[in-house]
Structure formats: structure tokens, C-alpha cells
Structure 1
């Protein structure tokens, strides 16, 4: 239970920062007494807690988007209504991760969880995030989001199927490359993650029911609750941070963590699997 609570704490702290929560759970699992990968199922289920925090934090936005989207379907709301349009953009942007998640499910649960892959992704996408933050125009607002850009965001989000990329990091990086403001890119990234994370989490919950796992149902549930509470605080902090600061501290941290993992692998302290 203690290990699960620690992992839940780390999940909540890292899910919405562009540093990859799945990478942190994968690495941290090696240093806990069980010395085992918590697994893709545990990661996906605890993400239900962090995504519930998004629903709470953006509750008014979500209710308004859903109401206007249904209104547009029935003709009570103009089809070009910004919130109705955002509903379609979230649906469109969610398609890539669903398709790729099903196609590469076996690799996601096996090959992609190699610590060599994790360390590489931390460094490579840390550098890409830094370059995007430095070179991006940061002029476009959320109202400027187009359907093609929604697809690009969705493709970037699907890269988070590989531990080390970061769901928020990948989508925010794409937003910066497309010229969106930091806050706009982050806001859409958080909203876009809702269908994907809930879908993945409940699918893994159903799939893993009754199967042996490193952590049982009670431990996983406790970790999910901890992740939820911590994530609400992190979202509030992060949205304020990016309105005034760059992503450089996160870039440096990613590169340092990835390099450390490579050193530990090279010295035999860690094993790839």
C-alpha cells in the first residue's frame, strides 16, 4: 500500500507537467522494495484520478462545451458556435490515439516500456520542447484552432503511448510549433486528454480485472485517489506558471533525468526490463 501511495503521489505530480508521468512511474518502480514495473494497466488506471482532476478544474468549460455541442447537433445552437466547434475538435483530436493505441497495444505494454526507450524519449522530446518554446510564435489563441491543427494535436498526443514522451509535453510542443500561446496549447492539451485517458483507464480496468498484478485493486484505488488530489493542485500551479515563464526548467529536468537513467543502465544499477 505504501508503494502504491508513493506512485499515486508521483502520478499526480507529474501527469500535467511536460515530464512524462508514465516515465516516472516506470523508473520509480525499479527503486521500490518490489523492484518491479508497475505496469501499463496500473499507470492507465491511476491516470483516471488525474484526469478526474481536469474535469473538476475545467468543469464549467466542459459543461458548456457539451451543452453547446449537443445544441449544435439539434439545431438550437449555430454550428459555428466556438464551444460546439471545440467539441468537434476534441473528438477529432482523440481519434489518432485510439487507433494507434489499439494497433500498438502489445508494444505499448512490452517493448515501449524498456528503460532505454524511456530515457531516449525523455531527452529527445525534452530538446524538441525547448526548441518549440524558443522558436514558436505564441500568437494564436484557442479560438484560432482549426480542424487540421486539431488532428496535429491528436497525433502529438498519441506519441504519449510511449513512456517518456509526456501527454501534455507532446501536445503542448505541437501547439508551440503551430504558433499557439503557451496557455492556449496547455488548455487544449488538457481538454483533449479527457476522452483518451478515461477510455484507456476504463479499458485497462476492465481488461485487468481478476488478473495478477504488482498492485491489487485496493492499492490501485488508493493510488488513484492520491493522484486526483495532488493533480488538482498541480494544474492550478502549472496554468499560472506557463503564463509567465518558459518551459526551460522542464527541458533541463528531462535531459538530466534521461541522462541519469542511461548512466544507471550502463553501470548495471538498472535493467532495461
Structure 2
């Protein structure tokens, strides 16, 4: 990898991890479009660390509050403050964890394909548009019940398929359940923390097991740039979400999906 590839892929990861347009799709497609060699597992670990740090820093106050309340709820065996939100994040992570352990190898082997990405980009882009149009947008993340959390968690598991978009499908699920745009996005981003941590941990394990040589310079810059772009993306996205809605991202997905189909065919 040269520095240009490092910068572009790190920015791409930072932006697409939280925008509803699929980071995995863009990281698969970009090397193909630019005729680059695959960036490798070590770089994937680095940019995952960067985006994880970014979302933790952005939601640091919320995380401190819900963690403290969660600890008290465990000790007192009852709901304390915002402990329910902490339990929701943990419970909502179970489906994707189980799906990842079961299907990760099969997905990596058979579904990292431009045709799959084109189809999922169009399908789940249309679903996002429908959910944004039809959603009542009257609830916040604190009003989710356990069935709602399970529904969003299962939706997140589907995002293991490239092109789906983890943030996109969880925001879609939240909108379908009547969450406001900001609430759906906030819960999606909080839900990303254990998922990114688990994904990064799995990649790190595979990296160590494979004894891959590591370019620490590229790792450092990849993590830093991905983290900065991710933090900026979260801040701007949440600030503008009420006014712009989901339609700019729906249109982008439709255009990308159609272009991919035209190129493939």
C-alpha cells in the first residue's frame, strides 16, 4: 500500500461505517475500481480500531452514564436510570455475534461479489427509503421494548452480507418501529460499539494466527485518519439528519446499485 491508498481507504472506512451506505461494499469495490491489491487484514484491523475509538469518544458521556447505571442494576437486580439502554445494546448484539460465528467464513467466501453488493445496495436502499417515508417517528431509544431490540438485533445480523450496511439496516429497523431519525441513528451507533469491537477482535485473532507481517506506519495513519473521519461523520450526520432525512443516501444507493449492475452486465 502507498500513502494515497492508505488515506483514501481510511477516510472511506470512517465515513461509510456510520452512513447508511455500507462500509464493506465500498472497501471491497474501491480496490477493484482503482486496480489496487487488497489492503490486507492488518489494515482492516487498524481502521476498525479508529472507528471504534471515534464512536466511543463521541458518546463518552452516554457510555459513562449507562455503564454506571448498568453496574448498579446488576448489583441491585432492578432497572436503574439508563441501565435499560445498556442492556438493550448488549442484548441487541447477540444475534450478529451468533450469525458471525456461524456464517462468517461462508459469507467471506461466497458473498463478497459485486453482483451481491449491487442487489443488496438496491434492495436495502429501497427499504430504507420506505421506512423513512412511512415511519411514525414518535419514539426514542429509551422506549424500545425487548421485542423491538430483538428485531433490530436480527436486522443487524443481516448486515453481515456485503452491501447491506450495518448502520443502514439498523436505522431502517428503528424507523420501522416508530423511532425518530435521531433516535434510530443514536441506537444504531451505540449498537455498533460491541459489534466493531468483536469484528476487530476476530480480525486481530486471525491476523495473529496467520503471522502476517505488519506495516505499523500504515496501521497508525489508517487508524488515525479513519477515527477522525468517523467522528466528523457522526457529528455532522446527527446534526443534519432531521433536515435532510434519509433520501440523499437512498438516492446514492440507487445510483450506485444501478451503475454496478450496468458494469457487471
> Closer, same or farther in 2 for the Cα pair 1:107/1:44, shift >3 Å?
farther
Q: CA deviation at 1:130?
A: 0.2
- Structure 2 Cα separation of the partners of residues 42 and 265 of structure 1: 28
Q: Which residue of 1 aligns with 2:10?
A: 8
Contact 2:84 2:142 in 1 (8 A): no
Answer yes or no: is 1:204 the counterpart of 2:203: yes
**Taking structure 1 as reference, are residues 4 and 110 closer, same or farther at Cα in structure 2, changes over 3 Å only?**
farther
Query: Contact 1:14–1:20 at 8 Å: present in 2 too?
Result: yes
Contact 1:13 1:234 in 2 (8 A): yes
Pairing 1:87–2:89 present: no
Checking the alignment, whether the CA contact within 8 Å between 2:41 and 2:207 is kept in structure 1 is no
Matched with 1:67 is 68
Q: Is the 8 A contact 2:118 2:260 kept in 1?
A: yes
* Correspondence for 1:255: 254
Instruction: Assess, with a 3 A threshold, how the Cα gap between structure 1 residues 147 and 157 changes in structure 2: closer, same or farther.
Output: same
* Map of 1:54 onto structure 2: 55
Structure 1 residues 46 and 184, CA gap change in structure 2 (3 angstroms): same
Residue 200 (structure 1) shift: 1.0
- 8 Å Cα contact 2:43/2:218 also seen in 1: no
Q: Paired residue for 2:27, among 2, 25, 28? A: 25
Number of the residue aligned with 1:102? 101
Within 2, Cα distance between the matches of 1:264 and 1:210? 37
**Cα deviation, residue 187, structure 1:** 0.5
Q: Secondary structure at the match of 1:209?
A: helix
- Structure ranking higher in helix proportion: 2
Which residue pairs with 1:121 in the alignment?
A: 120
Q: TM-score normalised to the size of structure 1? A: 0.90
Cα distance, 1:241 vs structure 2 = 1.3
Q: What is the CA–CA distance in structure 2 between the aligned matches of 1:233 and 1:243, rounded to whole Å?
A: 17
Give the alignment's Cα RMSD to 1 decimal.
Answer: 2.0
The structural deviation recorded for 1:44 is 5.5
Q: Following the alignment from structure 2 to structure 1, what is the Cα–Cα distance between the partners of residues 113 and 231?
A: 30
- Structure 1: state its 5+ residue gaps: 267-273
Range that drifts further, 36-45 or 12-21: 36-45
How far residue 41 of structure 1 moved from its aligned partner, in angstroms, is 6.8
Say if 1:128 and 1:234 are closer, same or farther in 2 by CA, change over 3 A: same
After superposition, the Cα gap between the structure-2 partners of 1:160 and 1:6, relative to the gap in structure 1 and judged at 3 Å, is: same
Change (3 A) 1:37 1:263: farther
Decide whether aligned partners of structure 1 residues 146 and 220 sit closer, same or farther in structure 2, where only a CA change above 3 A counts.
same
Q: Distance between the aligned counterparts of 1:254 and 1:81, measured in 2?
A: 41
Unmatched segments (≥5 aa) in structure 2: none
**How many equivalent pairs are there?**
263
- 8 Å CA contact 1:15–1:231 kept in 2: the answer is yes
Q: Normalising by the residue count of structure 2, what TM-score does the alignment of the two structures yield? A: 0.93
